[in-house]
């Protein structure tokens, strides 16, 4: 998603008009027009203004600096992170093997079963490629993401709540239920239970 698209998404999520955002940014009489130009991609705000936009919209500025326009961008980030930190991520393809083995140091190596499948085209169903981490913090963040996606799919949380969680992450993280988030993101009564 391009920077302008993110600005528009967050502005709308905050229920602001382009004029209101322009006013809060101190852009003057033509502020709404400038915000529109940023959102349409005709202009790109300079870093200092992006920081101010993030502050006004109450989101971490990193949301606007992340280069995530294409899948290769995301994968490239992961590849380079893995190069520098080779023991954080693990990858495997699921198989039909459901055996587990206990190693000499009493750790149990659980082999993934073939319950995760990827449907590429109508007749092409394959076992999934799985990314996970042995590092506790990374695993907890991935588990939490999975929980949020499931909550969204089952309508336990709204799309607006999911977006707020995403925008405020990692401050909104509860480490998959292990702590209170530093920043509340739930709007529903379920958050108060």
Nearest-angstrom CA–CA distance, 85 and 95: 26
Residue 159 has a pLDDT of 95
Across 143-153, average pLDDT: 93
Backbone angles phi, psi at 92, to 5 degrees: -160, 165
- pLDDT tens readout for residues 5-14: 999 999 999 9
Q: What is the pTM of this model?
A: 0.75
Q: How many CB atoms lie within 10 A of CB 64?
A: 19
Beta-bridge mates of residue 100: 110
pLDDT tens-digit readout, 56-111: 999 999 888 877 677 888 888 888 888 998 888 888 776 644 444 444 555 545 45
| C-alpha of 83 from chain center | 22
pLDDT value at 152 more than 90: yes
pLDDT of residue 158: 95
Instruction: Check: CB of residue 99 under 8 Å from CB of residue 111.
Output: yes
| pLDDT, position 32 | 96
Q: So what's the pLDDT on residue 101?
A: 47
- Cα–Cα distances (Å) from 67 to 30, 143, 185, in that order, read 28, 24, 24
Task: List, for residues 134-143, the tens digit of each pLDDT value.
Answer: 788 888 898 8
Q: How far apart are the first and last CA of the chain?
A: 35
């Amino acid at each position: 998603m391009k920077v302008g698209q993110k600005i528009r998404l967050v502005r709308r999520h905050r229920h602001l008009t382009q004029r209101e955002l322009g006013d809060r940014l101190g852009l003057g009489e033509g502020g709404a027009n400038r915000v529109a130009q940023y959102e349409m991609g005709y202009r790109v705000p300079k870093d200092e203004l992006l920081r101010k936009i993030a502050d006004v919209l109450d989101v971490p500025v990193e949301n606007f600096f992340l280069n995530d326009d294409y899948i290769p961008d995301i994968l490239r980030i992961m590849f380079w992170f893995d190069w520098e930190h080779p023991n954080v991520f693990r990858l495997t393809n699921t198989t039909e093997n459901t055996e587990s083995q206990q190693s000499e140091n009493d750790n149990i190596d659980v082999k993934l079963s073939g319950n995760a499948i990827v449907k590429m085209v109508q007749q092409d169903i394959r076992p999934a490629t799985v990314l996970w981490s042995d590092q506790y913090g990374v695993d907890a963040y991935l588990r939490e993401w999975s929980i949020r996606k499931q909550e969204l799919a089952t309508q336990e949380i709204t799309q607006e709540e999911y977006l707020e969680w995403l925008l405020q992450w990692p401050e909104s993280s509860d480490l998959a239920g292990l702590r209170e988030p530093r920043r509340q993101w739930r709007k529903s009564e379920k958050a108060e239970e």
